[in-house]
Amino acid sequence: MIKILLVDDEYLERDVLRMIIGSRGGEFQVVGEAENGLEAVKFVKEHDVDIVIMDIKMPKMTGLEASRLIKEYNPMIGIIIVSAYNDFEFAQHAIKYSLDDYLLKPSRPEHIFEALESTVGKIRQNKDPGKSGREDMKTAFMTFCRSGDYIRAKKYLRRVKKMHFDSYDEEKEVTKVLLESILTVAEYFGIDVEKNLKMQVQEKLMTSKTREQYFQILEIIFEEVFDVIISEKRVAYKEEMTYALHFIEKHLTDDLTLESAASYMNISTHYFSKLFKSEVGENFIDYVTDKKVERAKELIVDTDLPLNVLAFELGFNEANYFSKVFKKRAGMTPSQYRREAEEKKSEEKNLFRKGNYAANGKWII
């Protein structure tokens, strides 16, 4: 039996959903209701729940924010968001927070059950991904790589790197699948990885004991393969400027200049500058700076790298200059950004401690 929590600040909406779900018999069971995101998070902490059906707009805490906290607390809980707004911005947030499905108000009963059944399938696969789950990962990764999509392939690798697995064997198997995938891609493009990286990979293998270390080998091979794909333009993109965007992403941490990008595109610096602004919508320097700050935010949150080291890795020669650039884009210094991120993580951990309660929108231990 699938246990469901209904979350909506309107009782009538919950009542209708409860009746629709109850019409299916014993397959699904509504085990609780909540009026806002705070109550939903508290309920999930204290009760056994498989799926949360939650409105997006609620007082005290939105459905999206509650979804993020619930997923961080227990990624195995399925979340279906209900929204009256069919817009692109919502879809972006839904993807960001790894939501499983969404419904638009009003929804027909058959659409509700389709969303429930789809979410149940995802939950079961996540609990035991097995061979089919790994094959899906392999297919997605190889699709990005074979199409020469360095940006999406790189983001996919970062996401997998952050995933938590139930066992070391599962971690090892997933890393192995991705490693096999990138080697297959290398063969597809006729890239001799062994010739180019044999000594470097062998040295890493000699000291590799953890998944992190094996993942480094995967990243070394991945970067080498895309060095060739991008530098030799092995893929025919539909839009010419796509070459430049992937080149920028690949060399983001290098001494990247307008001249080097224009040279790669084999056009004059002046013409490339005008073309870039026309097709991308902002000038080259602003685009590169925004990309570096975006990557800096990820590194600040996800790593313990000292900020001066982080600045150097992103191609800034001076930590003070990096701090000024970051503040101009993010509205705060890198150290302030890290402090806020750490405070937020701490608050979220407190949220799930026994005995917490909400007062005036804030959580008190």
CATH code of residue 17? 3.40.50.2300
Does residue 185 lie in a domain region?
Answer: yes
In terms of DSSP H, where are the helices of 147-283? 150-162, 168-188, 193-207, 211-231, 241-250, 258-265, 269-280
- The total of structural domains in the chain comes to 2
Same domain, 58 and 115: yes
Domain encompassing residue 156 = 128-233
Question: Is residue 44 packed enough to be buried (19+ CB in 10 Å), middle (13-18) or exposed (0-12)?
Answer: buried
Q: Which of 98, 127, 156 is the last residue of a domain?
A: 127
Instruction: Dig out the tokens for 274 from the structure.
Output: 């005008």
Q: Sort strands 357-359 and 2-7 into parallel, antiparallel or unpaired.
A: unpaired
Indicate the range of 19-33, 161-175, 252-266 predicted with least confidence. Answer: 161-175
Indicate the range of 115-124, 242-251, 282-291, 320-329 predicted with least confidence. Answer: 115-124
Interval 294-319 mean pLDDT:
89
Does residue 80 lie in a domain region?
Answer: yes
Reported confidence tier of residue 197, pLDDT bands at 50, 70, 90: low
Residue 179 has pLDDT above 60, yes or no: yes
Does residue 292 lie in a domain region?
Answer: no
pLDDT in the model for residue 285: 93
Does residue 112 lie in a domain region?
Answer: yes
Indicate the range of 26-30, 91-95, 258-262, 308-312 predicted with least confidence. Answer: 91-95
Instruction: Dig out the tokens for 181 from the structure.
Output: 């995938």
Same domain, 76 and 162: no
Strand, helix or coil for residue 49? coil
pLDDT in the model for residue 115: 84
Interval 50-76 mean pLDDT:
83
Indicate the range of 173-177, 254-258, 287-291, 344-348 predicted with least confidence. Answer: 344-348
Question: H/E element holding 5?
Answer: strand 2-7
Interval 334-342 mean pLDDT:
89
Q: Which of 84, 104, 127 is the last residue of a domain?
A: 127
Task: Please give the span between the terminal C-alpha atoms of the chain, in angstroms, as a whole number.
Answer: 34
Same domain, 114 and 13: yes
Does residue 322 lie in a domain region?
Answer: no
Does residue 143 lie in a domain region?
Answer: yes
pLDDT in the model for residue 272: 95
Same domain, 45 and 162: no
pLDDT digits (tens, 9 = 90+) for 143-156: 889 999 998 899 88
d(CA 94, CA 58): 16
With b for 16 or more beta-carbon neighbours within 10 A and e for fewer, the 289-299 pattern comes to bebbbebbbeb
Same domain, 123 and 44: yes
Please enumerate in sequence order all residues whose Cβ is within 8 A of that of 10, keeping only pairs 6 or more positions apart, or say none.
Answer: 55
- Positive or negative: CA dihedral 1, 124, 74, 334: negative
Interval 212-237 mean pLDDT:
88
Q: Where is mean pLDDT largest: 114-123, 150-159, 196-205, 271-280?
A: 271-280
pLDDT in the model for residue 320: 92
Does residue 340 lie in a domain region?
Answer: no
Average pLDDT, the chain: 81
Residue 205 has pLDDT above 60, yes or no: no
Same domain, 209 and 141: yes
Neighbours of 272 (CB within 10 A): 21
Same domain, 135 and 212: yes
Reported confidence tier of residue 357, pLDDT bands at 50, 70, 90: very low
Residue 166 has pLDDT above 70, yes or no: no
Q: State which amino acid sits at residue 10.
A: E
Residue 259 has pLDDT above 60, yes or no: yes
pLDDT digits (tens, 9 = 90+) for 88-97: 455 445 545 5
Instruction: Dig out the tokens for 300 from the structure.
Output: 């600040």
Q: Which of 86, 103, 127 is the last residue of a domain?
A: 127
Same domain, 181 and 228: yes
Indicate the range of 2-6, 205-209, 233-237 predicted with least confidence. Answer: 205-209
pLDDT in the model for residue 142: 87
71 versus 356: the higher-pLDDT residue is 71
Inter-residue contact 356 to 350 (CB < 8 Å): yes
pLDDT in the model for residue 257: 92
Inter-residue contact 182 to 153 (CB < 8 Å): no
Interval 319-329 mean pLDDT:
93
pLDDT in the model for residue 161: 80
d(CA 118, CA 124): 10
Q: Sort strands 51-55 and 2-7 into parallel, antiparallel or unpaired.
A: parallel
